Amino acid sequence: MNASLRALLAAALPQTVPVRFDPPAPAEPAAERTVRLFLYDLREDTRGRLADWQDVHDGAGRIVGRRRPDRRYELSYLVTCTGATVEEEHELLGTALTALHGHDFLPPDVLAGGLAGTGRAGLTVAAPEPRVEPHELWPALGVPPRLGFDLRVTAAVPAGPVLEVPAPPSTVRLSSASS
């Protein structure tokens, strides 16, 4: 997930601005320009969960296996920025917001790792109801508050191995018994 988010943001940010995923630190150097995505919540998204097994098809469209339905997980990030001045922080935050807001899903060209095989991951930028209110999060981290926004990523995780389905018979013999 981190590599995919980093790739999406890095395309919009100046090359000298790193994208980090560690929590904000109390003694962070203010002059360091950084965009930070702090993962603060992870939970299963049970909306729309399928109850039945899913068919796996080969290139010809034949069913070759079945597997349990994918599980979806929602990851909540607090997106913040640091800079030498508040204006610089706001500018970086605006750049990050602009890079993310135009996407309902992570673009296929940035999907990396396990996400590349799942096909897509949904994005909700500046979610209206964050999982944790920022005024509760900052004191818990022991850092002074700063402006940020909530980013939610909903990604599918394959639920398990594919169980092979036997090939159909090549011949069928029918017979009847007379009474």
Beta 148-157 vs 121-125: how paired, if at all?
A: antiparallel
Residue with the bigger pLDDT between 147 and 132: it is 147
CATH number of 2-22+29-45+69-160: 3.30.2000.10
Give me the pLDDT at residue 110, please: 78
Domain range annotation of the chain: 2-22+29-45+69-160
pTM, rounded to two decimals: 0.76
- The first and second tokens of residue 105, run together, are 């899903």
Range 104-110, long-range pairs (CB < 8 A, 24+ positions): 106/4, 106/5, 106/8, 106/153, 107/8, 110/4, 110/5, 110/7, 110/8
Report the residue count for the chain: 179
Give me the pLDDT at residue 115, please: 61
Q: What is the pLDDT of residues 163-176, one digit of tens each?
A: 777 777 788 888 88
Q: What is the pLDDT of residues 77-134, one digit of tens each?
A: 988 888 888 898 899 999 999 888 888 887 777 776 666 556 678 788 887 777 777 7
Question: What letter represents residue 169's amino acid?
Answer: P
